């Protein structure tokens, strides 16, 4: 090929001069070396596995918009809890698909000490596994309108909702929940729940606050899974955060920490890694991210079409959370990641 302007004849000595001995690729040349310089480690200890519950027994009902995810009857949830412990996953997060007949305007089923979540907590706790149970504090799985709080007309009532959430939290801890996860975004709920728990002598119950929870399009498949997509009236923008805001996330987290949160969380995950980073950097709290249903569905859908390598995308996405400073991730990939990590050993 003749030398022309597209292939200038640069000399080796010139390249050496430019690099001055600094070659970034040296450390990347072999697997052992890449491992040696790796900054971030993903471990099974970083995983929280969200599971969905449904009435019945022996039921594993697929959620179409979340390939590989199923709604589980309590007995099946117990089996998955055993599996989670065997895999080394530290925490399960429980979400119920409530029978339509049990949903009402005030979400009263949330206070039923025999509801799905409470029964699952009790059954799993009976086994004495080395695993934590996290329960969601919010009314949406139980309300006929699909909102996280009590409604008056089209307004969500903050303080009345908080009172209800305190009772919900007590009911869950009484059934065996270890970590209370308020996902409702009402003002003052962390402090109120802490106070209610302490008054009831439940001083050891932890609170992982959904501190920065955004009004997001990425919750769609989750709402299929718990059956609120069809019923939700309007949207959640008067309580969940505006995706344009980041300073506001700092204020939310600051309040939650002052009110007694033990751990804070950002949700959704990947589109909000800047928030994860800012919260971790600012508060140095145990900080978590929720890789939500829509994020999971996107990876699964692209993978099913052969457009991306699903397994690699899954691992890369989880590594990104760790790199951004997350101490752990709620992810529907949890059992698959745990399995992969175990086999890689
Ligand atoms: C509601 C709640 C939501 C999720 C967890 N708790 C959805 C919502 O706010 O409508 C979403 C989780 C996911 O999408 O995976 N309390």
Q: pLDDT tens digits, residue range 30-75?
A: 999 999 999 999 999 999 999 999 999 999 999 999 999 999 999 9
Asked if 267 is an active-site residue, the reply is yes
% of the chain residues with pLDDT over 90: 95
Three-class SS state of 82: helix
pLDDT at 229: 86
Asked if 213 is an active-site residue, the reply is yes
Residue of 236, 267, 280, 322 marked catalytic: 267
Q: How far is the CA of 38 from the centre of ligand 1 (A)?
A: 33
What gap in Å lies between CA 318 and CA 115, rounded to an integer?
Answer: 33
What number of other Cβ atoms are within 10 A of residue 59's Cβ?
16
Q: Which two tokens stand for residue 268?
A: 């959704």
What gap in Å lies between CA 136 and CA 96, rounded to an integer?
Answer: 9
Condensed to tens digits (0 to 9), the pLDDT of residues 159-194 reads 999 999 999 999 999 999 999 999 999 999 999 999
Residue of 213, 236, 280, 322 marked catalytic: 213
Smallest CA separation from ligand 1 atom 14, residue: 219
Mean pLDDT of the chain: 96
Query: Do you know the residue count of the chain?
Result: 345
Q: Which residues line ligand 1 (CB under 6 A)?
A: 136, 138, 140, 148, 183, 219, 222-223, 236, 292-293
Q: How far is the CA of 203 from the centre of ligand 1 (A)?
A: 27
Strands 60-62 vs 150-152: parallel, antiparallel or unpaired:
unpaired
Q: Which two tokens stand for residue 47?
A: 């995983």
Does residue 7 surpass a pLDDT of 90? no
Which residues on neighbouring strands pair with residue 93, listed in sequence order? 50, 134
Spatial neighbors of 234 by CB under 8 A, at least 6 apart, are 154
Smallest CA separation from ligand 1 atom 6, residue: 183
pLDDT-derived band of residue 5, with 50, 70 and 90 as boundaries?
A: low
Handedness of CA 73, 74, 77, 82 (dihedral sign): negative
User: Could you give all domains of the chain from N- to C-terminal order, each with its CATH number?
Assistant: 43-344 (3.20.20.70)
């Amino acid at each position: 090929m003749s030398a022309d302007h597209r292939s200038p004849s640069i000399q080796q000595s010139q390249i050496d001069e430019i690099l001055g001995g600094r070659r970034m690729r040296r450390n990347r040349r072999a697997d052992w070396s890449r491992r040696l310089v790796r900054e971030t480690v993903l471990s099974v200890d970083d995983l929280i596995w969200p599971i969905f519950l449904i009435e019945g027994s022996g039921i594993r009902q697929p959620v179409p918009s979340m390939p590989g995810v199923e709604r589980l009857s309590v007995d099946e949830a117990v089996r998955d809890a055993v599996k989670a412990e065997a895999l080394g996953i530290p925490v399960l997060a429980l979400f119920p698909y409530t029978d339509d007949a049990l949903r009402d305007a005030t979400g009263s089923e949330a206070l039923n000490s025999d509801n799905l979540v409470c029964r699952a907590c009790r059954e799993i706790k009976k086994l004495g596994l080395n695993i934590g149970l996290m329960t969601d504090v919010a009314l949406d799985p139980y309300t006929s309108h699909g909102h996280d709080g009590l409604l008056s007309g089209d307004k969500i009532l903050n303080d009345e909702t908080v009172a209800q959430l305190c009772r919900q939290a007590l009911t869950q801890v009484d059934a065996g929940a270890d970590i209370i996860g308020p996902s409702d975004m009402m003002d003052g709920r962390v402090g109120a729940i802490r106070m209610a728990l302490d008054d009831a002598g439940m001083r050891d119950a932890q609170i992982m606050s959904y501190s920065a929870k955004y009004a997001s399009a990425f919750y769609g498949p989750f709402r299929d899974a718990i059956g609120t997509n069809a019923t939700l009236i309007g949207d959640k923008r008067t309580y969940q955060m505006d995706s344009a805001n980041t300073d506001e996330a700092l204020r939310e987290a600051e309040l939650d920490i002052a009110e007694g949160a033990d751990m804070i969380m950002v949700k959704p995950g990947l589109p909000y890694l800047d928030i994860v980073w800012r919260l971790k950097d600012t508060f140095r709290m145990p900080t978590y991210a929720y890789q939500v249903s829509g994020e999971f569905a996107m990876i699964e859908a692209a993978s099913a079409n052969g457009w991306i390598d699903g397994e690699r995308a899954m691992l890369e996405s989880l590594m990104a959370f760790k790199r951004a400073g997350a101490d752990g991730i709620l992810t529907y990939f949890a059992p698959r990641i745990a399995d992969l990590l175990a086999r890689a050993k």
